[in-house]
Amino acid sequence: MTIKHALKWAATALFVAGCASMAGPGSRATAKLAPTAGNALVNKSGVAVDGPDRGRACLLREREVQIGTDPGCDLVLSDEASGAVFAGGLVFADRVPTTPHARVDDWLTSLDAMAGLSVRTLVPSHGPVARGRAGIDQTRRYLRWLDGSLAQGAQRGLEVTELLAQPVQPEFRGWAAFDTEYVRNVLHLYPGHEARSLQPR
């Protein structure tokens, strides 16, 4: 599958995913699912059997499409035949992730759940299309580092300006959008860490 064909296929799959989410008995959904955090499991008729969220696999032009949603409604499509994974907003490659509505714990859980996918070609939300799982691993490393750094800063009672002055790993400083997105990450997420650090233990 060429990238041009893959993107055309993905656009069609995204439409089918929306339709499949409303499928009832007799639909072409299958029981296989690449489970990301919060997914419902579906039986062979396509009926949700667990949880309120949607997630299923369906057949698209005789290709099995693995569809998963995380709690923030990011969509992951995986074509088992080609190994192409369209990671939606869960994966940023060589770029600092955008976090305005992020729940980092859920995001990391979803990335961990993607370990069960066979990834030969990864199409991230931002960044280059590439072979293998590097974008998934990059995003996980950054989020874990960011979450830990913010938690430590809150425990130390640092102001936002003091936190922004702390060292950042060279790998992350070299990524696209670092100068803007890292500041936004801190402004989005640090108040939550500060609030939790003040809660009685």
Surface-to-core class of residue 143, CB atoms within 10 Å of its CB (0-12 exposed, 13-18 middle, 19+ buried): buried
Inside any domain, residue 180: no
In the chain, the amino acid numbered 17 is: A
Q: What pLDDT shows up at residue 113?
A: 86
Three-class DSSP labels, the chain: CCHHHHHHHHHHHHHHHHHHCCCCCCCCEECCCCCCCCCCEECCCCCEEECCCCCEEEEECCEEEEEEECCCCCEEEEECCCCEEECHHHCECCECCCCCCCCHHHHHHHHHHHHHCCCCEEECCECCCEECCHHHHHHHHHHHHHHHHHHHHHHHCCCHHHHHCCCCCHHHHCCECHHHHHHHHHHHHHHHHHHHHCCCC
The pLDDT of residue 155 is above 60: yes
Inside any domain, residue 158: no
Opening angle at CA 179, ends 104 and 93, nearest 5: 55
The C-alpha atoms of residue 107 and residue 28 are separated, in whole angstroms, by 29
Q: What's the pLDDT tens digit per position in 116-130? A: 888 999 999 899 999
Region 187-196: mean pLDDT is 96
66 confidence band (pLDDT: 50, 70, 90): low
Q: What's the pLDDT tens digit per position in 16-32? A: 444 333 333 322 333 23
The C-alpha atoms of residue 161 and residue 11 are separated, in whole angstroms, by 42
Inside any domain, residue 195: no
Q: Structural domain of residue 96, as residue ranges? A: 3-144
Inside any domain, residue 112: yes
| Mean pLDDT of all residues belonging to the chain | 74
Q: How many domains does the chain have?
A: 1
Inside any domain, residue 114: yes
More confident residue, 37 or 106: 106
Inside any domain, residue 83: yes
Opening angle at CA 23, ends 22 and 25, nearest 5: 140
The pLDDT of residue 150 is above 80: yes
Inside any domain, residue 15: yes
Region 182-201: mean pLDDT is 94
Inside any domain, residue 40: yes
53 confidence band (pLDDT: 50, 70, 90): very low
